[in-house]
Amino acid sequence: MKITVLGMGYIGLPTAIMFANHNQDVLGVDVNPQVVEMLQNGQVHIEEPGLQEALNQAVEKENFRVGLTPKPADVFIVAVPTPNNDDALKSCNLDYVLSAVEMILPCLSSGNTIIVESTIAPRSMEDFIKPLVEKAGFTIGKDVFLVHCPERVLPGQVIHELVYNNRIIGGVTPACTAAGKQVYGVFVKGELIEAKASVAEMAKLMENTYRDVNIALANELVKVCDKIEINALEVIEMANKHPRVNLHHPGPGVGGHCLAVDPYFIASKAEEESPLIQTAREINTSMPEFIIGKVNDLMADKIHPKIVVMGLTYKGILMMLVKVRQF
């Protein structure tokens, strides 16, 4: 297959390299000339264990090229950012995704598959991306196959998890789902789970929202225990001895590409129906202020206090400062 991957970020680049190393003809596309130049020179711009070695292998196989614009292909994979909008509920900004799809359209032909790996708000495939492709004269499920396959990898283990994690293949039609399974069957050893596109969108968002809500519960517990002078860590330790309880440990909030972003994509679609999700976001966002208050209390009697912050990234081992609460 000829595969074009749009977006050479922490998902798009490893995905492109993985296909290339499984004997597919891959073009990686990015709008950043510096990123393209680095990759053309055989250097990754992302810190991820094993990624440089994987790129070296792809270059040696001569299956991986990089450029600023897409070319005709059998499969187009969109892996570009979806940041929050600046509105009150921080809804999903689809600008980069729609722009990527528009870049694909001049290269599109009958029989092609378009896969969106970017995390998107519920019903984005049906309400925004499908009409864009149909406007170009294609029938979805017959001429062009449209699929949402959300990424589910853990930074630091991306190479392994791309291969062994289960993947949700969310087609806009059953024929689209079948086309998506054929693509990922090239290298994925995990289960390829069939779903509607809208279910795949919501499932990815709920995976991260579930974690955000559980972290918020632990963070709220520490505030309650602080108020009534009980050791929250001891409470968590004791509660977790129950066979069906698994409380998280409290912390400075939530960071990274996903957990601090994705819950808003749900809440913005159903504001009145999502008070728990919104409250969890408020709790986790409030934690830096709470911690600063506790530090100020501890330092109140110090004349020239010195404070050391150990660990600035949102996750250990990685140099990743995306939405970290420590700042």
pLDDT of residue 258: 86
pLDDT of residue 320: 54
Beta strands 167-171 and 192-196 are parallel
What six digits make up the tokens of 199?
A: 């279910």
Q: Is 204 a known active-site residue? A: yes
39 SS3 class: helix
Catalytic residue among 204, 227, 294, 302: 204
Distance CA 147, CA 75 (A): 11
Q: Are 39 and 8 in contact (CB under 8 A)?
A: yes
Question: Domains of the chain, with CATH numbers?
Answer: 2-196 (3.40.50.720), 205-298 (1.10.1040.10)
305 SS3 class: coil
What six digits make up the tokens of 277?
A: 């999700």
DSSP string spanning 143-178? TBEEEE----PPTT-HHHHHHHS-EEEEESSHHHHH
Q: Is 92 a known active-site residue? A: no
In three-state form (DSSP H/G/I as H, E/B as E, the rest C), the secondary structure along 194-263 is EEEHHHHHHHHHHHHHHHHHHHHHHHHHHHHHHHCCCCHHHHHHHHCCCCCCCCCCCCCCCCCCCCCCHH
pLDDT of residue 315: 66
Catalytic residue among 90, 149, 258, 269: 258
What pTM, to 2 d.p., does this model score?
A: 0.91
pLDDT along the chain (327 residues), means of 10: 98 98 98 98 96 97 97 98 95 98 98 98 98 98 98 93 98 99 98 98 97 98 98 98 97 85 96 98 96 90 85 66 53
For residue 53, give the H/E element and its range: helix 51-61
